[in-house]
């Protein structure tokens, strides 16, 4: 299994039967998108994990820089008023 390097890496997102959103489950190698979906089916849905698959080539994912974490995320720490905890929710409203 030495030629992995010649095939691009893909990120795999699976939507589970009861889930509403696709969740990142891992990555794999494939020559093209079609093969990536089939590989994802064979690698990540063998135990009935999903009903829908998304794949995206890893190079198209842009990530925030961990070094910027303090300036990006810490400022939210003291903005407690952004949480909707000051409202009275009617009893009929679930899943909030």
Partner 1 sequence: MNDLIQYTLHLADNALILGHRNSEWTGHGPILEQDIALSNISLDLIGQARMLYQYAASLSGNGATEDSLAYLRTEREFLNCLLVEQPNGHWGNTIMRQFIFSAFQYGYYRELKSKKDVTLSAIAEKSLKEVTYHLQWSSEWVIRLGDGTEESHLRMQDALELVWPLVPELFRPEPYETRLAEAGVAVEPDKIETPVREKLTAVLTEASLSIPEDSGVWSGRSGKSGIHSEHLGYILSEMQYLQRAYPGCTW
Residues within the interface to partner 1 (CB under 8 A): 1, 3-4, 7, 28-31, 34-35, 38-39, 42-43, 46
| Start-end of H helices in 1-96 | 33-44, 69-73
The vertex-56 CA angle with 53 and 59, nearest 5°, equals 160
Tell me whether residue 6 or residue 64 sits nearer to partner 1 (CB atom). Answer: 6
- Greatest CA separation found in the chain? 60
Tell me whether residue 31 or residue 51 sits nearer to partner 1 (CB atom). Answer: 31
Least distance CB 92 / partner 1 (angstroms) = 42
């Amino acid at each position: 299994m030495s030629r992995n390097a010649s095939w691009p890496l893909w990120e795999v997102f699976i939507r589970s039967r009861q889930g509403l959103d696709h969740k990142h489950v891992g990555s794999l190698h494939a020559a093209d998108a079609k093969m990536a979906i089939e590989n994802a089916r064979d690698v990540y849905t063998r135990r009935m994990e999903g009903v829908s698959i998304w794949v995206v080539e890893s190079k198209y994912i842009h990530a925030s820089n961990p070094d910027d974490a303090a300036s990006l995320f810490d400022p939210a720490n003291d903005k407690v008023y952004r949480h909707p905890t000051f409202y009275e929710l009617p009893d009929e409203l679930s899943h909030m």
